Amino acid sequence: MRSISFGQATVEATAAAMREDSTVIVMGEDIGWGGNFGQFNGLLEEFGSDRIIDMPISEALILGSAVGAAVTGIRPVASMSFVEFTMGAMDEIINQAAKFRYMFGGQVSVPLVLRASDGVLRSSGAQHSESFESFFTHMPGLKVVAPSNPADAKGLLRTAIADDDPVIYLENKKITFLRGPVPEDDYRTPLGSASIIREGCDVSLVTYSVMTHHALEAARQLADEYSIDAEVVDLRSLVPLDLETIFASVEKTRRAVVCHEAWRFGGFGAEVAAQISEHLFGELDAPVRRVGAQSAPIAFSPPLERALVPEAREIVEAVIRNLEPE
């Protein structure tokens, strides 16, 4: 199977959707020349400026236009470049896109995808190194996905564009250029479907996006250095959340560590940990542990950034603490 980048995989998904459905358009900042991470390369040349629309640097305008287009039968893919820029369009996302289906009794739908690059990119500083998924997962009416590899990036985006509700599609900055095997055919990955990407029996590492790669490295270290067999669950979709797969894994291992790059305090991992604790309390051999960033703005300095943002080492440490006798 050929190997392509995360960005190339999303170009394929977008192009396939646009060829299939003439109502699909792409709009946003810096997309005409291919986007900051190459995620729109070649689309302008194939589909023209009527469907690949460069917008002014006004996030409220981009999302307001996308919501208006969506409720009138268009399927817009709106790009924010960096997830931090969504803060300038939260009214349109939260009070309009997320609520219209409910406010109008199901008479309208808002089939839009909001694409945004999130997470920490080395020395990008406090205003371009953030993870806001918990803002969006907290809001009823939004679906949220966070793929970790090119194959899922393609399949999840294809599904998101076809969905009749607004989908927040988060692509971590660190893995946009990551290459991996991707089928050439057209396919869709269901929302609400987690994936067991490494089987194990001693502890479940529940994660998503870039932290999936750190979890796999942590699982390797745990096996090599401590003879601990970790299972890795890649959520892929945060809303809807595949609780069935999470619970089945934790019922088997009886221990769980939930990992994400976002700030630990108030992060999405707290919801996952709560779900596990509420439903499987009697099955657990130890409390659920969480791994996330320290509660501080992400520093520009590489050593300070590394001190704040977790990687494989912090996951290994959390597992060892989880296995220690109380």
Alpha carbon distance 14, 25 (integer Å): 9
Alpha carbon distance 32, 137 (integer Å): 30
- The distance between the two most distant Cα atoms of the chain, rounded to a whole number of Å, is 63
Provide CB contacts within 8 A for 13, sequence distance 6+. Answer: 153, 154, 155, 157, 158, 161
Contact 305, 299 (CB under 8 A): yes
Pairing, β 289-293 against β 256-263: parallel
Contact 7, 39 (CB under 8 A): yes
Partner residues linked to 27 by β-bridges: 53, 78
Contact 77, 141 (CB under 8 A): no
User: Residue 91 is encoded by which pair of tokens?
Assistant: 């009214």
> What residue type is assigned to position 174 of the chain?
K
Query: Environment class of residue 76 by beta-carbon count within 10 Å: exposed (0-12), middle (13-18) or buried (19+)?
Result: buried
User: Residue 286 is encoded by which pair of tokens?
Assistant: 């130890």
Helix axis angle for 268-280 and 243-253, nearest 10°, is: 60
Alpha carbon distance 2, 324 (integer Å): 43
Within 10 A of 94 (CB to CB), how many other CB atoms are there? 17
Q: How many residues does the chain have?
A: 326
User: Residue 183 is encoded by which pair of tokens?
Assistant: 């089928």
Provide CB contacts within 8 A for 268, sequence distance 6+. Answer: 133, 134, 137, 238, 260, 262
Q: Which residues are catalytic?
A: 59, 128
Phi (first) and psi of residue 135, to 5 degrees: -60, -45
